[in-house]
């Protein structure tokens, strides 16, 4: 019997997240202050007070969710479990909590990541949509035909596709014809985890050249391989790779079962990952950290 902490990605944000922790817990306050210092701006003002339009900007929301999630962990006083994992940008949070990446470095990397993702594709030229009710292999085949990509394989019957708008639109019509229960655009300012993000991947290679990654103090399950990676160079390569490739969350959850993980704690805003895990397997008991 083993346990894992899991950390959410973009979409979990709410204005005011972490504000009470900042007021009442010194360990959490230190995390938020370190992120403000690293970015040379008061990101905490946007996190705690909004407006939501500013918080959801890719360049803000990524370091904001990381900061809130790490602050929640530090405030909890919990010991590290045997395993950690994260969904998309949550991978950075998991590595931060496991001691592989410094909080300040994670904030700067995620700011660079958000800027690079937005710069790679002009606003309005890309699209990200969630597809409900179809098998992943069916979605993949239609994406291949249409010139777009699977961004997230979240759980059985829930896949996110991404790419240039005209390609995602074309795929969406085919997916509806193939029997998708729903195909719904997501409110993201840039398409994610797809081939059009190659310029962003190149920018992240440059960003990582100035950052030291250490071996994690917990076993980190990668979205790239759906297996444990602990070599710092491999971790760096996996984080760059995820810019242009699928977040394989469903497969990662199945690997958690194979590794004997029986308990998961979701740490961060929202409770998306708990739902995805529960829809993938009944062999992992999921709890939400409340601090």
List the chain domain ranges.
Answer: 2-121+195-288, 126-185
* Topology adopted by domain 126-185: Alpha-Beta Plaits (3.30.70)
* Nearest-angstrom CA–CA distance, 31 and 37: 10
* Nearest-angstrom CA–CA distance, 95 and 85: 8
Residue 124 is predicted with a pLDDT of 87
Half-sphere exposure of 166 (CA within 13 A, CB side): 0
* Topology adopted by domain 2-121+195-288: Malonyl-Coenzyme A Acyl Carrier Protein; domain 2 (3.40.366)
Count Cβ neighbours within 10 Å for each residue of 248-279 and write b for 16 or more, e otherwise: bbbbbbebbeeeebeebbbbbbbebbbebbee
Indicate the SS3 state at residue 91: helix
* Terminal-to-terminal C-alpha distance of the chain: 25
- Residues classed as catalytic: 88, 193
Half-sphere exposure of 226 (CA within 13 A, CB side): 16
What stretches in the chain show pLDDT beneath 70? none
Give the global pTM: 0.97
Does residue 264 contact residue 274 with C-beta atoms inside 8 Å? Answer: yes
Residue 132 is predicted with a pLDDT of 98
């Amino acid at each position: 019997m083993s346990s894992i902490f899991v950390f959410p990605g973009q979409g979990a944000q709410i204005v005011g997240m972490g504000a009470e922790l900042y007021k009442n817990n010194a360990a959490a306050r230190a995390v938020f202050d370190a992120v403000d210092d690293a970015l040379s701006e008061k990101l905490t003002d946007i996190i705690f007070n909004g407006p939501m339009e500013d918080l959801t900007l890719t360049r803000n929301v990524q370091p904001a969710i990381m900061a809130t999630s790490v602050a929640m962990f530090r405030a909890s006083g919990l010991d590290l479990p045997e395993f950690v994992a994260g969904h998309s940008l949550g991978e950075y949070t998991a590595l931060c909590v496991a001691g592989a990446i410094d909080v300040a470095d994670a904030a700067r990397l995620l700011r660079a990541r958000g800027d690079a993702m937005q710069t790679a594709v002009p606003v309005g030229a890309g699209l990200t949509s969630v597809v409900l009710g179809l098998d992943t292999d069916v979605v993949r085949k239609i994406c291949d035909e249409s010139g777009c990509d699977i961004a997230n394989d979240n759980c059985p019957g829930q896949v996110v596709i991404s790419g240039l708008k005209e390609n995602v639109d074309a795929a969406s019509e085919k997916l509806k014809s193939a029997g998708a229960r729903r195909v719904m655009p997501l409110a993201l300012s840039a398409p994610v985890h797809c081939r059009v993000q190659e310029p962003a991947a190149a920018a992240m290679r440059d960003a990582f050249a100035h950052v030291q990654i250490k071996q994690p103090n917990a076993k980190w399950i990668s979205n790239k391989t759906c297996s444990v990676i602990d070599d710092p160079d491999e971790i760096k390569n996996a984080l760059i790779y995820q810019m242009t490739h699928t977040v394989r969350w469903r497969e990662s959850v199945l690997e958690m079962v194979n590794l004997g993980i029986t308990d998961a704690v979701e740490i961060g805003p929202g409770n998306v990952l708990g739902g995805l895990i529960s829809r993938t397997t009944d062999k992992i008991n999921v709890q939400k950290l409340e601090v």
